[in-house]
Amino acid sequence: MIALQGQIVKGKVVRLEEYGAFVEVTTEEGTTVTGLVHVSEVSTEFVENIYAELAEGDEVDVKVLDIKEDGKVDLSIKRADPDWQDEESVNLRSKLDKDFNKRLRRFMHKSQMIQGEARRQKRGRVDS
């Protein structure tokens, strides 16, 4: 067993891919296991280029997010940070963002309908 889910452990970046970093961590038994830190779990900021954020050989603190039945391990660097906000506040922000996006789409749709109607009326006046 690597560690308990939610535990923060030390790891070493062993490989980088566009979609994330493979980090090697030591299990409680002393063996090493490689887990994936998805690019979205590297930083609280948007990571456009993972190679600019991390390098092979970097020592990092990671939080164990999940240990799947097939043995794959999901890790997070940003959640290992002591300043990381708890998920409840993140979920609230996500809900607020979704509500905003929904209202924005509705506004844009209405605006396009009004502009289309104005163009039709203008063409009707020109044709007359």
Domain assignments of the chain as residue spans, ordered by start: 8-80, 85-128
Burial annotation 73-93 (CB, 10 A radius, 16+ → b, else e): bbbbbbbbeeeeeeeeeeeee
pLDDT value for 30: 80
CATH topology of domain 8-80: OB fold (Dihydrolipoamide Acetyltransferase, E2P) (2.40.50)
pLDDT value for 61: 94
Written as tens digits, the pLDDT of the chain (128 aa) is 555 778 899 999 999 999 999 999 987 788 889 999 999 999 888 899 999 999 999 999 999 999 888 888 999 999 998 887 765 555 666 667 778 888 888 888 899 889 888 888 888 876 65
Tokens coding 93: 């922000």
pLDDT value for 93: 62
